[in-house]
Structure 1
Amino acid sequence: MRILLVDETPERAEGLRAALARAGHEVMAQLPDTLALLSQIETLQPDLIIVDTDSPGRDMLEHLCAVTERTPRPVVMFTFDGSHERIREAIHAGVSAYVVGRPDQREVAPLIEEAVVRFQHFQALRRQLQEARSRLAERKVIERAKGLLMKHRGMAEEEAYHALRRLAMARNQRIAEVARRVLDMAELIG
């Protein structure tokens, strides 16, 4: 894996770099803080981000939040701050594995694997949620278009649906696209 390492302490980072190299990972770059994190991610395209800090501050968590929104990556955080509030904040910012204390060198590879699996699982859930929201929005549009046809054309519900469906098939479009056009035309006409 190609890793971007964030650690304000160069000496501490060297030990982690060595453990990562032994596990077969490549540290692409090391940053002293998260200020340039987003631009470095866009430039380097790492597979994973490791943040090694005594305690994640508000600015660090905000930068991680921006990363999660724009270019999501698995994030492993090593810290000495075990407060429940800080853990919650880090997880909400997109941290996949929050590790309190310094891991043994043998634990680094399994922790990375855990973070990647959690990240992939979360991304799959996020996609499913987006798809469900999209389907729900499409259903609402179709229902509104059916209602419009029922009201203005005196059609039964099933008849309105079949009219939308026939038009969608004839134009080789999705029924939701046809329903949107029906609503747009009704709005235009008034």
Structure 2
Amino acid sequence: MLICSPDPVFRDHLTRLLAAIGGYRAAVSVSPAAALQSALEQPPDLLICSHEPALCDGITLTTSLRGKVWVPVLLAAKNWTPELVKAAVTAGVAAFLASFPTEPELAHALIEARIRLEHEDLLRTKLRESEQRLADRKVIEKAKGLLMEQERISEDAAFKLMRSQSMTRRVSMAQLAEELLISMSNQG
């Protein structure tokens, strides 16, 4: 876990709370730039960042991390305005904290961040699977089209032929389609 705040009292407060909750070790960073570099080099399980726009802009830090490394961010602020909440959500903040949270508040935010992380991981997995299925379908359609053209058969006949070959050889339709495309490109 990484704590980013220019305020030593806040950093010490969080360190004590995390020790009391148990199971957490925290590294400390005073500046967002140092926290960003640290998170990019060795992503922490979690980042707790204070938000003091002039000293430690947690929203900019969260935005800078997004797309490079997935780190759930807990953002602590003194005054949560609707605009600040909207900006934090847009940036990808996982949970919100009062500037000096109590132990139960921090424990709740940690649970919330962990649940969001699991949910994000599930969504990323589903996205990767969907992208792979789409790529497989494109390859299958392309191979089917070439097979129709080369063998002068209907779309249905080409699909049945590919499915039959796939089952006989015990390979996926996508793998068979890739092999067909390679074979056909070598022929002509």
TM range (shorter): 0.7 to 0.9
Answer yes or no: is 1:24 the counterpart of 2:19: no
Residue among 160, 177, 180 paired with 2:178: 180
SS of the aligned residue for 2:100 comes to coil
Asked whether 1:106 is paired with 2:104, we answer yes
Say yes or no: does 1:162 pair with 2:180: no
Equivalent residue for 1:135, pick from 133, 136, 147: 133
CA RMSD of aligned residues (A): 3.0
1:157-182 deviation line (CA, Å, top 9, x unaligned):
23212332344456654321332343
Residues 127-136 or 92-101, more deviating: 92-101
User: Structure 1 residues 94, 125: CA separation in 2 closer, same or farther (over 3 Å shift)?
Assistant: same
The correspondence of residues 77-96 of structure 1 with structure 2, limited to 5 A, is 77-96=75-94
DSSP-derived class of the 2:70 partner: coil
Q: Measure, in 1, the Cα distance between the counterparts of 2:62 and 2:79.
A: 17
Question: Secondary structure, in 3 states, of the residue corresponding to 2:33?
Answer: coil
Mean CA deviation greater in 21-30 or 81-90: 81-90
Q: Which TM-score applies when normalising by structure 1?
A: 0.79
| 1:127-176 CA distance string (max 9 Å, x none) | 11221122122112212221222233112223212332344456654321
Unaligned runs of 5+ in 2: none
Contact map agreement 1:146 1:161 (CA 8 A) in 2: yes
Relative to structure 1, the CA distance from residue 44 to residue 25 in structure 2 (aligned partners, 3 Å threshold; closer, same or farther) is farther
Residues 18, 58 of structure 1: CA spacing in aligned structure 2 closer, same or farther, 3 A cutoff? closer
Residue ranges of structure 1 left out of the alignment (5+ in a row): none
Aligned-partner Cα distance in 1 for 2:163–2:153: 14
